[in-house]
Structure 1
Amino acid sequence: MQSVSADPVSERIRELEEIVAPRGSALVAFSGGVDSSLALAIAARALPEGRVLAVTSNNETYLPSELDLARDFAASLGVEHLVVNTRELDDPNYASNPTNRCYFCKSTLYSDLAKLAEEKGYACVVDGANKDDEGDYRPGRKAAKELGVVSPLSEAGVGKDEVREMAKRLGLPSWDKPALACLSSRFPYGQEITPEKLTQVARAEEFMRREGFRQVRVRHHGEIARLEVGPTELERAFAEREKITAELLDAGFLYVTLDLAGYKSGSLNAALKKGKKSLPVIS
Structure 2
Amino acid sequence: MLSEKLEQLQAIFAEMGQALIAYSGGVDSTLVAKVAYDVLGDRALAVTAVSPSLLPEELEDAKIQAATIGISHQVVKTEEMANPNYTANPVNRCYFCKSELHDTLKPLAQKLGYPYVVDGVNADDLQDYRPGIQAAKERGARSPLAEVSITKMEVRQLSQQLGLPWWDKPAQPCLSSRFPYGEEITIAKLQRVGRAEIYLRQLGWQNLRVRSEVDTARIELPPEKITEFVVNTNLPEVVSKFQELGFLYVTLDLEGYRSGKLNRVLQVQ
The structure 2 residue matched to 1:162, chosen from 154, 159, 163, is 154
Contact 1:214–1:230 under 8 Å retained in 2:
no
The structure 2 residue matched to 1:119, chosen from 104, 111, 132, is 111
Q: Distance in 1 between matches of 2:245 and 2:114?
A: 42
Greater RCO between the two (CA within 8 Å, min separation 6)? 1
Query: Which residue is 1:271 aligned to?
Result: 265
The structure 1 residue matched to 2:91, chosen from 99, 106, 114, is 99
- Give ranges in structure 2 of 5+ residues lacking alignment: none
**TM-score (structure 2 length as normaliser):** 0.97
Contact 2:66–2:73 under 8 Å retained in 1:
yes
Percent of pairs with identical residues: 49
Q: Distance in 1 between matches of 2:84 and 2:221?
A: 31
Q: Distance in 1 between matches of 2:236 and 2:99?
A: 42
1:15 aligns with 2:30: no
The structure 2 residue matched to 1:189, chosen from 155, 167, 181, is 181
After TM superposition, the structure 1 = structure 2 runs for residues 26-105 of structure 1, keeping only pairs within 5 Å, are 26-47=19-40, 49-105=41-97
- Give ranges in structure 1 of 5+ residues lacking alignment: 1-7, 276-283
Contact 2:34–2:71 under 8 Å retained in 1:
no
Q: Distance in 1 between matches of 2:164 and 2:61?
A: 12
Instruction: Deviation per CA, 1:6-58: give whole Å up to 9, x if none.
Output: xx3332211101112111111101111110011111111121x2111111112
Query: Which residue is 2:239 aligned to?
Result: 245
Query: Which residue is 1:3 aligned to?
Result: none
Contact 2:9–2:148 under 8 Å retained in 1:
yes
Q: Distance in 2 between matches of 1:45 and 1:9?
A: 17
Matched to 1:233, the amino acid is K
Query: Runs in 1 of length 4+ with deviation above 6 angstroms?
Result: none
**TM-score (structure 1 length as normaliser):** 0.92
The structure 1 residue matched to 2:254, chosen from 252, 260, 267, is 260
Instruction: Deviation per CA, 1:129-162: give whole Å up to 9, x if none.
Output: 0011111000001011111111000000111111
Shift of 1:236: 2.9
Contact 1:218–1:228 under 8 Å retained in 2:
yes
Instruction: Deviation per CA, 1:257-279: give whole Å up to 9, x if none.
Output: 0000111101111111111xxxx
Shift of 1:85: 1.2
Structure richer in helix, relative to its length = 2
Shift of 1:232: 2.5
Matched to 1:267, the amino acid is K
Contact 2:226–2:254 under 8 Å retained in 1:
yes
Q: Distance in 2 between matches of 1:105 and 1:142?
A: 11
Q: Distance in 2 between matches of 1:133 and 1:17?
A: 21
Question: How many residues end up aligned between the 2 structures?
Answer: 267
- 3-state SS of paired residue (2:184): coil
